[in-house]
Structure 1
């Protein structure tokens, strides 16, 4: 499984942001290798104050590449400084995941 983390500090969003964000999310969820997305927000009073981690899981790198090539994703990447006060991307390969079964794997 491939894990793509988009870690960012929110800035000011506008209508263009919301439109592109919805289009990208829909495209990602319709890719054959899409598994799920999780989103975590750091507490405002902690050391990471308000940072967001949107984590996309895919079964294969081909789906990740398809998302990267999606035209609306390309447009959003070109304008990222317009909406975020900083970001970083972490792409990793998940070797194992396990738990007690009470949370979706």
Structure 2
């Protein structure tokens, strides 16, 4: 499993942004291997993070090459003050089982908390 964290500082969004954003969201959902996403915003609202989860690296690459995604990349300065992307391979995911998450819970309940 892979995740792509899109960390950004929002600027001003217009109608074109919202239309393109909706098309990109549709493209992500339509890409085989897309598992889901979650978003976070800093308490002061100045920075956001949208993390997308993918079954494999090929799926992530396919989404990255989608024409609408490429269009948005070319125009990002219209809508964002800045961005940073982190691509990661998920090595382990665990919890107490009380919170559902996109990543599988790999905690061995008989062994305590995994490291």
Q: Shift of the alpha carbon at 1:72?
A: 0.5
Q: Counterpart of 1:19 in 2: which secondary structure?
A: helix
For structure 1, the residue ranges without an aligned partner over 5 or more in a row are none
Q: What is the aligned partner in structure 2 of residue 13 from structure 1?
A: 13
Cα deviation, residue 50, structure 1: 1.9
Deviations 1:46-99 (A, max 9, x none): xxx520000000010111111111101011000001100110100010100011
Gaps of 5+ in 2: 102-115
Q: Which runs of 4+ in 1 moved over 3 A?
A: none
Paired residues in the alignment total 101
RMSD over aligned Cα, in angstroms? Answer: 0.9
Distance 2:63 2:88 in 1: 16
Relative contact order, higher structure (CA 8 A, sep 6+)? 1
TM-score, normalization by structure 1: 0.92
Give TM-score scaled by structure 2 length.
Answer: 0.84
Q: Corresponding residue for 1:103?
A: 99
In 2, the alpha carbon distance for the partners of 1:99 and 1:75 equals 38
